Amino acid sequence: MSYDPDAIVWKPKIPKDRKGRRVRYYEREDRDIAGAGTVTFTLAGGSGRWFVQRSHFGASPDPHRTRYFPNRRTATACFEHLAYG
């Protein structure tokens, strides 16, 4: 499965630790986006449930996440596109 930068859909439900599976947060980067202010992107996940989280987007104080990716490599490609692109 590859990452498609034009197919990002943001979802409001951030997973929590469950059944012995921990959600870990790895890389984090702040980016200034016109009209939204400073947005924090975070690469997170583990155990086959990798995602990118965004926080402080415009007037929304609640974090959102991308869909789940099956591996860290694909989630990292998405993170790098959002944080550095």
Distance (Å, whole) CA 70 – CA 82:
18
CB 2 within 8 Å of CB 73: no
Strands 37-45 and 24-33: antiparallel
What are the tens digits of pLDDT across the range 53-66? 999 876 677 899 99
Q: Other CB atoms closer than 10 Å to residue 52's CB: what's the count?
A: 27
* pLDDT given for residue 5 in this prediction: 65
Task: Show Cβ contacts of residue 72 under 8 Å, excluding neighbours closer than 6 positions.
Answer: 43, 45, 50
Query: pLDDT tens-digit profile of 31-84?
Result: 998 888 889 999 999 877 899 999 987 667 789 999 999 899 999 999 999 999
